A and B are shown apart, each in its own frame.
Chain A
Amino acid sequence: MNNEILIKNGRVIDPANGIDKECDVLIVDDRISDVGKVEKPAQKVIDAAGKIVTPGLIDIHVHFREPGDEEEETIASGSAAAVAAGFTSVVCMPNTNPPIENETDVEYVHRKARQARKTHVYTMGAITKGREGVELAEMGFMAEAGAVGFTDDGCGVQDPAVMLRALKYADMFDVVIAQHCQDNAFAANGVMNSGYFSTILGLPGIDPLAEEAMLWRDIQLVKKTNVRYHAQHISTAGSVELIRAAKKDSLHITCEVTPHHLLLTEERCAEYDTNYKVNPPLRSAKDVDALKEAIAEGLIDALVTDHAPHLQSEKELEFLAAPFGIASLECALALFVEALIEPGILDWPGLIRLMTENPAKIIGVDKGTLSPGKQADVTIIDPKAEYEIDVNRFRSKSRNCPYHGWKVTGKVEKTIVGGEIRFEA
């Protein structure tokens, strides 16, 4: 007897197949079986009237801190948070302790994810050994073990010759090279955006130029190679201009944006609340506008959280000393609704595309659609549900979330991973 789930009467949005209509989705075992009017009975029927039914959401930028900082987050706790937020796939960043830099490390992440049995967990590997930006890490072995890309995220590869070598070498494998664009020479020891507020707060600034200089450099390197390049969490108007020009030149370049760079600006740091300390830093209103315009224009390929959990005791420090990072995985969907749907920048199919089809393509996995025969990763969303974000109810281990108390709209009702209901509100 097959295991069947029939999701009835939802608004099915599957951008990859151009579907946005009220219909049913039939899941048989771990596969999508049918999308349309399904009349036959099923073992389990979910009434999705008034709800949105989409391919499972995909977040290609999270930090689950395992191995090394399990007090902040584990693959198990992060995975539980992910499915509660509608994410059926996530990509962990390799800046763990020690970093993910060989096939054993990659397999370790996968094993922990299997044990957690919540969401699909992928990982990127480090570009360079120890993320030190000097010697290439074993990209081939890691790719064979299932790493979906490479990045030294947390910092950028500073040496242009090393970066060029990485891009060239990666061409042997069908992988994406992702970069946290930040030239440390410009960023110095900065802790927030450099500008009026860093001046009056007496805090060292990170100039937008730090991001733009490295992105510009990488674009020149990408022109000399043939590999897929992904600019992580871009945050400035200048970066948008660079991406626009690169896409006009038809380069293999994609990019992503976080909710905090769409919702928050640098003046949030004015009270030295370290929950607003994040890297890249919160920028100016002009930058936020440029990112939103870029999304409306279709220049931004994916929306990600950059979920970066930290202990309260680590964040309860002077602004200079506290670590960078915002934990926002569990409220991500509502934040994107707030930033993009409510002001009319995107409609629902537009938003879902940036959270399903596109990120799947960037990391090169066969996901992000509801095509029959594909693995049954499905998210059911109540687009009208209003709620108040409460960090104390997070499944994530960390509470470093500046959106606590925000009243938001758009809630995940059910998350189905590989044909199993892994989360129900």
Chain B
Amino acid sequence: MALKRKSKQFKWQRKHLLGLRELSSEEITYILDTAKGFEQISTRSVKKAPPLRGKVVVNMFFEDSTRTRNSFALAANRLSADIIEFTKKASSVSKGETLLDTARNLEAMGIDIVVIRHSAGGAPKFLSRNINACVVNAGDGFCEHPTQGLLDVYTIRKIKGTLEGLKIAIVGDIAHSRVARSDMWAMTKLGAEVIFVGPPTLMPGRANELPVGVSYSLDEVIEKVDVINMLRIQFERLGGNPFPSVREYSHYFGLTVERMKKAKPDILVMHPGPINRGLEMESEVADGRNSVILDQVTNGLAVRMAVLFLVNQGAAISNR
């Protein structure tokens, strides 16, 4: 298999992907370059390559997910790994088996890579400290969703060529968004300027100490940005009522056809999915010519293949 490596000097060392905050820009770029090499596997008639043959990947999902779980499963399949699906609703108060016991039991069966989604921030890191298998974070609480961050920057880089100097708005419930955090780390590390947009009640604490700008006005921001990422309003995470009504929220922060008229003509419209049509954005925008929402999904597959491939390689180095 001919993988093109741009950064020849660089050697990937990590056996876990826990978050993008801890990665250097070189490491992020290396993952993106690796993903580029994997992209063509999905366009061949035989959509399979052998690098993870004989390896076992567990999809350990303690929260609902369709696209991320399927994307990881397909990525593992394309790399010829065996995959186990494990889904369970986690609750911090449930007196069932602990996360650690669950993972240790799976590990006793000889697994190599755990892909974990969990409602508790830090759960992947906690796991990585306590088991020998590779750990890939598929979303933890509102901490990080690193493969989403990677596929977002991959998508932007693919179209715009570089992140350097771009202005990117991330709009919505920033406080409870792991996507916003992973995007922030990846985008700023690659040289973009990020602006968080949303009502003050959905901004995280001390947003002023983060490497981003903050605005409460989508109308002011939309004219200036090259990319706009509309976050999903996650009703299950919102505590209390941070905004008075869906109607009022959409009025100020919805991406409407009208608002799009003020945007740059080549603006990229992104959304991590699933979309609440008519809430974060109007259907015409979601399906419009600036939308790259389905490209994100396609690219997610290549990025996740790269991540599984690299952590397995990192494990080989660290176990040697």
Interface residues of A (CB under 8 A from B): 188, 194-196, 198-203, 205, 207, 271-272, 313, 316-321
Q: Do residues B205 and A198 form an inter-chain contact, with CB atoms below 8 A?
A: yes
- How many whole Å from A319's CB to the nearest CB in chain B? 5
Q: Do residues A319 and B209 form an inter-chain contact, with CB atoms below 8 A?
A: no
Verify if B183 is at the interface (C-beta below 8 Å from A). Answer: no
Contacts of A199 in B (CB 8 A): 204-207, 209-210
Q: Do residues A195 and B206 form an inter-chain contact, with CB atoms below 8 A?
A: yes
Closest to B178 in A: A202
Q: Do residues B120 and A320 form an inter-chain contact, with CB atoms below 8 A?
A: yes
Q: Do residues A316 and B100 form an inter-chain contact, with CB atoms below 8 A?
A: yes
Complex Cα–Cα for A194 and B142 (A): 14
Verify if B173 is at the interface (C-beta below 8 Å from A). Answer: no
- How many whole Å from A315's CB to the nearest CB in chain B? 11
Which of B119, B123, B181 is A200 in contact with, Cβ under 8 Å? B181
Q: Do residues B122 and A319 form an inter-chain contact, with CB atoms below 8 A?
A: yes
Contacts of B118 in A (CB 8 A): 318
- Check A321/B205 contact, CB under 8 A, given A202-B141, A202-B142, A316-B98: no
- Check A318/B205 contact, CB under 8 A, given A202-B142, A272-B125: no
Complex Cα–Cα for A237 and B92 (A): 31
Closest to B98 in A: A317
Closest to A205 in B: B205
Q: Do residues B205 and A202 form an inter-chain contact, with CB atoms below 8 A?
A: no
Which of A196, A202, A319 is B144 in contact with, Cβ under 8 Å? A202
Mask: chain B, 130-162; 1 = CB below 8 Å from A; 0 = not: 100000000011111000000000000000000
Which of A196, A317, A320 is B205 in contact with, Cβ under 8 Å? A196
Q: Do residues A320 and B121 form an inter-chain contact, with CB atoms below 8 A?
A: yes
Q: Classify the interface of chain A: helix, strand, loop or mixed.
A: loop
Complex Cα–Cα for A101 and B118 (A): 39
Closest to B140 in A: A202
Contacts of B100 in A (CB 8 A): 316-317
> How many residues of B are counted as interface, with CB atoms below 8 angstroms from the partner's CB atoms?
29
Closest to B185 in A: A200
Contacts of B123 in A (CB 8 A): 318
- Check A196/B206 contact, CB under 8 A, given A202-B142, A203-B143, A316-B98: yes
Complex Cα–Cα for A321 and B92 (A): 5
Verify if B126 is at the interface (C-beta below 8 Å from A). Answer: yes
Complex Cα–Cα for A237 and B236 (A): 34
Closest to A202 in B: B143
- How many whole Å from A277's CB to the nearest CB in chain B? 11
Complex Cα–Cα for A188 and B207 (A): 20
Q: Do residues A318 and B204 form an inter-chain contact, with CB atoms below 8 A?
A: no
Q: Do residues B99 and A317 form an inter-chain contact, with CB atoms below 8 A?
A: yes
Which of A194, A195, A196, A272 is B122 in contact with, Cβ under 8 Å? A272
Closest to A197 in B: B206
Verify if B4 is at the interface (C-beta below 8 Å from A). Answer: no
Verify if B48 is at the interface (C-beta below 8 Å from A). Answer: no
Known: A317-B100, A318-B118, A318-B120. 15 other contacts (CB 8 A): A188-B239, A194-B205, A196-B205, A199-B205, A199-B206, A202-B140, A202-B142, A203-B141, A207-B205, A313-B98, A316-B100, A317-B99, A318-B126, A319-B122, A321-B120
Q: Which 3 A-B pairs have the closest CB atoms?
A: A202-B143, A202-B121, A272-B122
Q: Do residues B205 and A203 form an inter-chain contact, with CB atoms below 8 A?
A: no
Q: Do residues A201 and B143 form an inter-chain contact, with CB atoms below 8 A?
A: yes
Contacts of A194 in B (CB 8 A): 205
Within 8 A of A (CB), among B105-126: 118-123, 125-126
- How many whole Å from A33's CB to the nearest CB in chain B? 56
Interface residues of B (CB under 8 A from A): 21, 92-93, 98-100, 118-123, 125-126, 130, 140-144, 178, 181, 204-207, 209-210, 239
Closest to B176 in A: A202
Complex Cα–Cα for A195 and B208 (A): 11
Contacts of B210 in A (CB 8 A): 196, 199-200
Q: Do residues B126 and A319 form an inter-chain contact, with CB atoms below 8 A?
A: yes
- How many whole Å from B14's CB to the nearest CB in chain A? 16
In this complex, the member of B98, B126, B140, B181 whose beta carbon has the largest number of chain A beta carbons within 10 angstroms is B126
Contacts of A202 in B (CB 8 A): 121-122, 140-144, 178, 181
Contacts of A272 in B (CB 8 A): 121-122, 125-126
Q: Do residues A201 and B205 form an inter-chain contact, with CB atoms below 8 A?
A: no
Contacts of A198 in B (CB 8 A): 205
Complex Cα–Cα for A205 and B204 (A): 10
A–B pairs, 26, beta carbons within 8 Å: A196-B205, A196-B209, A199-B204, A199-B205, A199-B206, A200-B21, A200-B143, A200-B210, A202-B121, A202-B142, A202-B143, A203-B141, A203-B143, A272-B122, A272-B125, A313-B98, A316-B130, A317-B100, A318-B99, A318-B118, A318-B122, A319-B122, A320-B120, A320-B121, A321-B92, A321-B93
- How many whole Å from B186's CB to the nearest CB in chain A? 14
Complex Cα–Cα for A321 and B96 (A): 12
Contacts of A313 in B (CB 8 A): 98
Contacts of B140 in A (CB 8 A): 202
Complex Cα–Cα for A195 and B210 (A): 11
Contacts of B205 in A (CB 8 A): 194-196, 198-199, 205, 207
- How many whole Å from B211's CB to the nearest CB in chain A? 10
- How many whole Å from A217's CB to the nearest CB in chain B? 21
- How many whole Å from A413's CB to the nearest CB in chain B? 38
Complex Cα–Cα for A320 and B118 (A): 11
Complex Cα–Cα for A316 and B122 (A): 12
- How many whole Å from B214's CB to the nearest CB in chain A? 12
Complex Cα–Cα for A319 and B122 (A): 7
- How many whole Å from B281's CB to the nearest CB in chain A? 25
Contacts of A200 in B (CB 8 A): 21, 143, 181, 210
Contacts of B119 in A (CB 8 A): 320
Contacts of B99 in A (CB 8 A): 317-318
Complex Cα–Cα for A319 and B125 (A): 10
Contacts of A317 in B (CB 8 A): 98-100, 126
Closest to A189 in B: B239
Contacts of A321 in B (CB 8 A): 92-93, 120
- How many whole Å from A173's CB to the nearest CB in chain B? 37
Closest to A272 in B: B122
Contacts of B181 in A (CB 8 A): 200, 202
